[in-house]
Amino acid sequence: MSFSDKDLRKMIVPLFFEQLLVLLVGIADTFMVSYAGEEAVSGVSLTNSFNTIFIYIFTALAAGGAVVTSQYIGREDRDNAVDSASQLYMISFLLGLFFLILVKILGRTLLGLLFGSVDEGVMNACITYLSITSFGYPAIAVYNAGAASARAMGKTKLTMVVSMISNTINVIGNYIGVFVLKAGVAGVAVPTLISNWAAALIMTVLVSRKKNPVYVEPSHVLAWHSEQLKKILHVALPNGVENGVFQLVKVALSSIVALFGTAQIAANGIAQTIWSLAAIMGMAIGPVFITVIGQCMGAGKPEEAEKYAYKLLRWSLALNIVWCTVIYLITPVWMQFYAVSDETKGIVIRLVLIHNIFCAFTQPFMNNLGNGLRAAGDVRYTMVLSIISTIGVRLVWSYILGIKFNMGVYGIAFAMVSDWAFRAVVLTLRFRTGKWKTMRVI
């Protein structure tokens, strides 16, 4: 396989702007709902941490499909590539529907167990936001399946365009819901739901075009091909377990944050949105690792995969340092527009500083290199490492620093970046052994 610098830029740039648009919508949600009060901000923040569990599972499933489809593309096996993309669509929709039903039955109970110590106003905001946004689970799952197929083909501009449309719908809807209709939490939840379904429908139309190198075939979507699903799940299940444990720990940490008072809860929610914005440069390059390394491995060229991995790591590190610096420098100005207390603003600025210093240097290795190993099929190692690090480093140290040492949300932040640093070192050592070159997916 051969990818010129121009080819790589054509994949990375649209992914960056797509990630940027998605995060701007999250910021718009938090910013606009802040005018409904800190209870509303806290409720949306806590519920988003719960919703993200399911979103990460959908993303993990889509990543499994992307790896399989990328390797079939590298092998120039279009029939199996089409079948894998279609089967991914089918299983994604069913999983989204399953989680929707689960949350409708147990949602309030789970919110009570996780965030029962929060004020009544915050809990009411959580319930309202979850009851509306959960209807978007099948749409999110389907969109991720379609986006995975597009990225496997290297058509990242397509996902960027769909993201632009859906996010425009969301931002306009947020403005109407909060400032015109004065609907508070519901005013940002309903536009989010509408934009999720719009993205899913548009993506489905675009990836079903038979002129694409790989497309979604309706007859394959309605079928059940066990062998193809087994290959997808071989990558997706470890990745899903990894992401699921990661998000469960994040929800557990949200429960700890809920003990620190409304100002710290609100600051943590706002900071997480800015953290996500700071991370998008690295996140934009992550899917390119899957496409490039997956295609190289599918073509039976592990040395080419290694060469491109090193190149993408260099790009990711340089761009990440610049981007994280820029985001931190504009954060104090940005915070002036939030309708929250000065105490909350100060906490946010300090949390962003802690995050961005470590994100700049560890994310390319902790996240992107991990994607490269998964694309090669080294999924069990990355899963075990993630579980050990998430629980043994992040969760344990969050409890020790946040509660025992009374550091509050700062303790949670330091535990988080310690987790990143540990994983970055271990994954780098794993990559250098070269064992991933012997893995097989298809």
Read out DSSP for 82-112? HHHHHHHHHHHHHHHHHHHHHHHHHHHHHHH
Compute the distance between CA of residue 63 and CA of residue 41 in angstroms, rounded to an integer.
Answer: 31
> Given its phi and psi angles, is residue 119 left (phi above 0), alpha (psi -120 to 50 degrees) or beta?
beta
Position 23 pLDDT exceeds 80:
no
Residue 27 pLDDT level (bands cut at 50, 70, 90): low
Compute the distance between CA of residue 93 and CA of residue 141 in angstroms, rounded to an integer.
Answer: 6
Compute the distance between CA of residue 425 and CA of residue 436 in angstroms, rounded to an integer.
Answer: 16
Compute the distance between CA of residue 142 and CA of residue 154 in angstroms, rounded to an integer.
Answer: 19
Which positions ≥6 away from 123 have C-beta within 8 Å? Answer: 43, 111, 112, 115, 116
Least confident of 148-162, 352-366, 411-425: 148-162
Residue 153: CA atoms inside 13 Å, Cβ hemisphere, count?
23
CB 116 within 8 A of CB 97: no
Q: What is the pLDDT of residues 286-305, one digit of tens each?
A: 999 999 999 999 999 999 99
Residue 17 pLDDT level (bands cut at 50, 70, 90): confident
The answer to whether residue 162 is domain-embedded is: yes
DSSP labels, 342-374: HHHHHHHHHHHHHHHHHHHHHHIIIIIHHHHHH
Closest by Cα among 338, 289, 317, 348 to 29: 338
Domain total in the chain? 1
The answer to whether residue 439 is domain-embedded is: no
Closest by Cα among 152, 6, 129, 7 to 66: 152
pLDDT at position 429: 97
The answer to whether residue 441 is domain-embedded is: no
pLDDT at position 303: 95
What percent of the chain is predicted at pLDDT more than 90? 64
What pTM was computed for the model? Answer: 0.83
Tokens linked to 17: 């702007």
- Amino acid at position 247, single letter: Q
Residue 1 pLDDT level (bands cut at 50, 70, 90): low
Position 25 pLDDT exceeds 80:
no
Tokens linked to 427: 């994954």
Alpha carbon of 397 to those of 319, 400, 408: distances in Å? 30, 5, 12
* Span 43-54, average pLDDT: 82
Closest by Cα among 63, 47, 31, 53 to 283: 63
Position 19 pLDDT exceeds 90:
no
Compute the distance between CA of residue 2 and CA of residue 15 in angstroms, rounded to an integer.
Answer: 20
Compute the distance between CA of residue 234 and CA of residue 63 in angstroms, rounded to an integer.
Answer: 11
Q: What is the pLDDT of residues 289-345, one digit of tens each?
A: 999 999 999 999 999 999 999 999 999 999 999 999 999 999 999 898 887 899 999
The answer to whether residue 328 is domain-embedded is: yes
Compute the distance between CA of residue 90 and CA of residue 86 in angstroms, rounded to an integer.
Answer: 7
* Span 365-381, average pLDDT: 94
Mean of the per-residue pLDDT values of the chain: 90
The answer to whether residue 196 is domain-embedded is: yes
The answer to whether residue 437 is domain-embedded is: no
Residues composing the chain: 442
Which positions ≥6 away from 342 have C-beta within 8 Å? Answer: none
pLDDT at position 373: 96
Position 240 pLDDT exceeds 70:
yes
The answer to whether residue 223 is domain-embedded is: yes
Tokens linked to 20: 């940027």
Which positions ≥6 away from 56 have C-beta within 8 Å? Answer: 243, 244, 246, 247
Which positions ≥6 away from 197 have C-beta within 8 Å? Answer: 136, 139
Determine the distance from the C-alpha atom of residue 153 to the mean position of all C-alpha atoms in its chain, rounded to a whole number: 20
Please give the residue range of the domain that contains residue 123: 5-432
Work out the number of other CB atoms within 10 angstroms of the CB of residue 392: 12
Determine the distance from the C-alpha atom of residue 142 to the mean position of all C-alpha atoms in its chain, rounded to a whole number: 15
Work out the number of other CB atoms within 10 angstroms of the CB of residue 248: 17
Closest by Cα among 39, 419, 420, 402 to 255: 402
Compute the distance between CA of residue 13 and CA of residue 7 in angstroms, rounded to an integer.
Answer: 10
Compute the distance between CA of residue 362 and CA of residue 397 in angstroms, rounded to an integer.
Answer: 18
Position 21 pLDDT exceeds 80:
no
Determine the distance from the C-alpha atom of residue 73 to the mean position of all C-alpha atoms in its chain, rounded to a whole number: 25
The answer to whether residue 352 is domain-embedded is: yes
From the number of C-beta atoms within 10 Å of its C-beta (0-12, 13-18, 19+), residue 219 rates as: exposed
Tokens linked to 147: 């986006």
